[in-house]
């Protein structure tokens, strides 16, 4: 077997985590930069309401494409453990089933998206003057969603093999291409919001093409084997028992967006949705190193759990939390110092700058705690324990943030929405820490 996957069980955990996390972090950084640049171009050359339109559409497209991410994470958990236990046939069979399911499910969901576009946009907060802009953006983005789903699935399979740099490129390629195409389509071709959508869709297609080329011509341990494309019911059940956690997470995030957009529209109008659009883009950008740590941690934990090496599993958990918390603390300090300057990059609207800066501080207030929540829920997912992973994944958005967003604005107006974020961070981190300590103490024994 090539050395790349075996290193997950032998190399120093700190060195291995850095080696796995840095490419993942770079990939998420570039993707976040693309998201920010995209929003800046739209906000400055189309208008503030266009930011609201993107804020409405993005969770819908990611919810649809998250079928690929769910299959990717669920299948990659099996692949990591299979490689750790030297069962290559099981890894190949898992991959074949993943490819089959990703293509069929994503295409079906896109068809439904085109049929029910008005209804879907309305549910996600596409109201008032935002609706026609959101529809223009949505109908183009939908074309690229199956390609995004394939890229998301492929990314996780490649990372499970211990190939973080290749996985990074799958994220970097569309981001860089989008940054190049945005000014061409939006400004030079005067295509407005539609131009931003086409830039994104073309980028998804190119990224998917690169992933396909790697499996066909690259040095992947996992290859296309046609006989393994036949669906295996037991394997599908296992993939979805783990992957459903990702769907639940994305579903809870999408439900949160629905609740947020409707609450923001009720208490602050269309501009309230644009405020969250800015805060969300900054959050995606600022948290890239923590997300990278978690992505780097998953194959390490999965491989060593499959190899029945409890010592390395425990060390990987502690190291990931330590690194993630340190990075998140640094992010918090920077946000507190530069919040107004960060928001100023997106818009020249004075009221939007003021209100977004205020919101940003509260959204990030308890950022250092997110490493515990993300690593904890990720650990259970990596080792194939679906129920605790599902519960912990749902804690912040589903169990705490959504109820708080519905309750607090009744007492504090729109500010109650922003107060909800730090409270949810504290509660979800506490619950995750309790679950994780019990698991390590009582169940991590081979």
| pLDDT score recorded for residue 2 | 45
| pLDDT score recorded for residue 306 | 83
Tens-digit pLDDT profile for residues 382-438: 888 878 888 888 899 889 999 999 999 999 999 999 999 999 999 999 999 999 999
Domain-by-domain residue ranges, the chain? 9-442
Would you write out the chain's pLDDT as a tens digit for each of its 446 residues? 445 567 888 888 999 899 888 887 887 787 777 777 888 888 888 888 888 888 889 888 878 888 888 999 889 989 988 888 889 899 999 999 999 999 999 999 999 999 999 999 998 888 888 899 999 999 999 999 999 999 999 998 998 887 888 888 998 898 889 889 999 999 999 998 999 999 999 999 999 999 999 999 878 888 888 899 999 999 999 998 888 877 877 788 888 888 998 899 999 888 888 888 888 888 877 888 898 899 889 889 988 988 888 899 999 999 999 999 999 999 999 988 888 888 887 777 777 888 888 899 999 999 999 999 999 998 988 888 878 888 888 899 889 999 999 999 999 999 999 999 999 999 999 999 999 999 888 867 65
CA separation, residue 70 to residues 1, 146, 270, 315, 394 (Å): 27, 13, 32, 26, 15
| pLDDT score recorded for residue 4 | 59
| pLDDT score recorded for residue 356 | 87
| pLDDT score recorded for residue 1 | 40
| pLDDT score recorded for residue 446 | 55
126: nearest Cα among 45, 52, 48, 42 = 52
Tens-digit pLDDT profile for residues 359-373: 999 999 999 999 999
CA separation, residue 398 to residues 30, 49, 249, 405 (Å): 28, 28, 8, 11
Count of beta carbons in the 10 Å neighbourhood of residue 441: 9
Close Cβ partners of 135 (under 8 Å, ≥ 6 residues apart): 117, 118, 121, 126
| pLDDT score recorded for residue 445 | 60
| pLDDT score recorded for residue 280 | 84
């Amino acid at each position: 077997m090539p050395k790349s996957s075996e290193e997950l069980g032998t190399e120093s955990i700190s060195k291995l985590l850095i080696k796995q996390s840095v490419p993942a972090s770079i990939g998420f950084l570039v993707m976040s930069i693309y998201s920010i640049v995209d929003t800046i171009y739209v906000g400055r050359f189309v208008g503030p309401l266009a930011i609201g339109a993107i804020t409405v559409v993005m969770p819908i497209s990611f919810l649809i494409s998250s079928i690929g991410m769910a299959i990717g994470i669920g299948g990659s958990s099996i692949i990591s453990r299979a490689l750790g236990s030297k069962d290559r046939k099981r890894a190949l069979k898992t991959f074949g089933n993943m490819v089959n399911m990703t293509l069929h499910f994503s295409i079906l969901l896109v068809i439904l998206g085109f049929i029910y576009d008005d209804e879907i946009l309305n549910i996600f907060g596409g109201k008032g003057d935002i609706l026609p802009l959101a529809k223009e953006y949505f109908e183009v983005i939908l074309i690229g969603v199956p390609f995004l789903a394939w890229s998301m699935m492929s990314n996780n399979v490649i990372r499970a093999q211990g190939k973080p740099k290749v996985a990074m490129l799958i994220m970097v390629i569309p981001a860089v291409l989008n940054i190049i195409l945005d000014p061409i389509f939006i400004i030079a071709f005067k295509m407005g919001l539609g131009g931003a959508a086409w830039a994104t869709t073309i980028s998804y297609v190119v990224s998917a093409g690169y992933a396909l080329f790697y499996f066909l011509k690259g040095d992947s341990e996992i290859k296309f084997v046609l006989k393994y494309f036949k669906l295996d019911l037991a394997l599908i059940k296992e993939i979805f028992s783990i992957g459903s956690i990702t769907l639940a997470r994305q579903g809870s995030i999408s439900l949160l967006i629905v609740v947020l957009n409707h609450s923001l529209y009720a208490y602050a109008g269309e501009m309230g949705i644009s405020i969250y659009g800015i805060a969300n883009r900054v959050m995606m950008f600022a948290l890239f190193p923590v997300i990278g740590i978690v992505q780097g941690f998953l194959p390490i934990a999965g491989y060593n759990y499959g190899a029945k090496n409890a010592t390395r599993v425990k060390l990987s958990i502690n190291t990931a939390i330590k690194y993630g918390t340190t990075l998140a603390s640094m992010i918090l300090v920077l946000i507190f110092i530069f919040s107004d300057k960060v928001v100023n990059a997106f818009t020249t609207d004075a009221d939007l700058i003021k209100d977004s800066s205020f919101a940003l501080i509260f959204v990030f207030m308890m950022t250092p705690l997110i490493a515990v929540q993300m690593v904890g829920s990720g650990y259970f997912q990596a080792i194939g324990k679906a129920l605790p992973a599902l519960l912990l994944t749902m804690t912040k958005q589903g169990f705490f943030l959504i109820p708080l967003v519905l309750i607090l604005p009744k007492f504090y107006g729109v500010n109650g929405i922003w107060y909800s974020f730090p409270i949810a961070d504290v509660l979800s981190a506490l619950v995750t820490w309790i679950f994780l300590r019990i698991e390590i103490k009582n169940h991590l024994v081979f």
